[in-house]
Amino acid sequence: MRVLYFSTEFGPHDHRFLATLAKTPHKVHFLRLATSKRAIEDRPVPAEVEQLQWAGGKGPFRWRDVPRLQQDLKRVIKAVQPDLIHAGPIQTCAFLAALSGFQPILTMSWGFDLMADAERNAWWRWVTRFTLQRSSYFVSDARVTRSRAVEYGMRPDRTAVFPWGVDLQQFRPGGIGVSKLRPRPSKSAKRSSHARPHRAAAEPFALICSRSWEPRYGVDVLARAFVIAARQHEGLSLILLAAGSQSNVIRRILQDGGQVDRVQFGGQVSQAIVPSWYQMAHLYVSPSHVDGSSVSLMEALACGMPVLVSDIPANKEWVRDNVNGWLFRDGDAENLADKILWISSQRSEWPRISRAARHVAEARADWERNFQVLLRSYNRAVKAAGT
């Protein structure tokens, strides 16, 4: 079928969807809603995918542009004659698709659209409900977002959940990631309490976080926790990848706390070398306040990394405390610092946690297998639109 893939920008997730769709018999067209100053994907749109030029995609999305964008979207639809529009996030791309009157629309949640944006105010709630009630089918990457969509009027029988997953060959245990997880004797290894020790051993313990520096992802919470923990653990260090609007806030926290010299700022890194960054650390941390099934979390699990994540519903779908990782209280820097210091003393437990992490990824986070759910959903969306 002819598929019109409509997304906000062109990021790593979009590249992965388009590259995989390009390998199918479908003819794929790509429509981009907006462009930001900060590029987050350095790979080109796959050559097999036709990127369309239209009124959007030349700057940030603005509500006042909706009438103009709606009219030009109708022109694009008439020219392309798609059999299906695959659109998301809900309140922007999928909303414009719904306004066009076209069917079938497969609406794909990006997590934050239902877990945060939908509750901004009455207008955003109305847009969410309007869009979902006019969607032929709905897909999301977590049970919690699927449940929220149903609350907003999406028919339960026209929904599917599939974690976007990762390439399990690219993200796997290996290299220094194997040797660093071998348990080493330490006086602090006998501690079993989560209470913060008076002074931890200086043995190296590196954290890594690859979440964007935006308020919803809580990297500022991690920065505050690191300052607390680093004052009590001479071997503690932190790797921060990505960037974002909170750059000044996060750097100021680390600077004022006297720990900025123990932080490595990796910036926006190519997807191809992300696994090598994970292998430089002992513990992956995600302090996100809002999420679906986090792809970066799945990447870490697939690499066999011990993980420490906020106890939000979506994370708890993936991480069981002290089974394949650990949880901390969302937004609580003190609790996060306590957990970091406690985990650093549990080196004998890291191999067990590592094996369990990889097992979860193999069972549930295989991109190639999970992608088949999307392809089946395309067919179901077309069928639903005809009934």
Distance in angstroms (rounded) separating the CA atoms of residues 339 and 202: 17
Is 110 within 8 Å of 88 (Cβ atoms)? yes
268 in any annotated domain? yes
25 in any annotated domain? yes
**For the chain, how many structural domains are there in total?**
2
pLDDT tens-place string over residues 328-379 = 999 999 999 999 999 999 999 999 999 999 999 999 999 999 999 999 999 9
Q: Give this prediction's pTM.
A: 0.87
373 in any annotated domain? yes
214 in any annotated domain? yes
180 and 148 share one domain: no
Residue type, 207: L
130 and 181 share one domain: no
∠201-205-208 over CA atoms, to 5°? Answer: 155
350 and 378 share one domain: no
Spatial strand order of the sheet with 137-140 comes to: 50-51, 27-32, 2-7, 84-87, 105-108, 137-140, 159-161
Q: Which residues of the chain have a pLDDT value below 70?
A: 175-202
182 and 114 share one domain: no
32 and 121 share one domain: yes
- Please give the DSSP secondary-structure letter assigned to residue 64: G
CATH number, residue 159: 3.40.50.2000
- The residue range of the domain holding 83 is 2-165+366-385
171 in any annotated domain? no
Distance in angstroms (rounded) separating the CA atoms of residues 284 and 325: 9
Distance in angstroms (rounded) separating the CA atoms of residues 53 and 95: 19
Cα torsion 77, 81, 87, 90 to 10°: value is 50
60 and 195 share one domain: no
184 and 295 share one domain: yes
188 in any annotated domain? yes
153 and 295 share one domain: no
Residue type, 291: D
Pairing relationship of beta strands 50-51 and 27-32 according to DSSP bridges: parallel
pLDDT for residue 192:
34
309 in any annotated domain? yes
244 and 297 share one domain: yes
Exposed, middle or buried: residue 313 (CB in 10 Å: 0-12, 13-18, 19+)? middle
106 and 210 share one domain: no
156 and 183 share one domain: no
pLDDT for residue 195:
37
170 in any annotated domain? no
360 and 373 share one domain: no
pLDDT for residue 41:
83
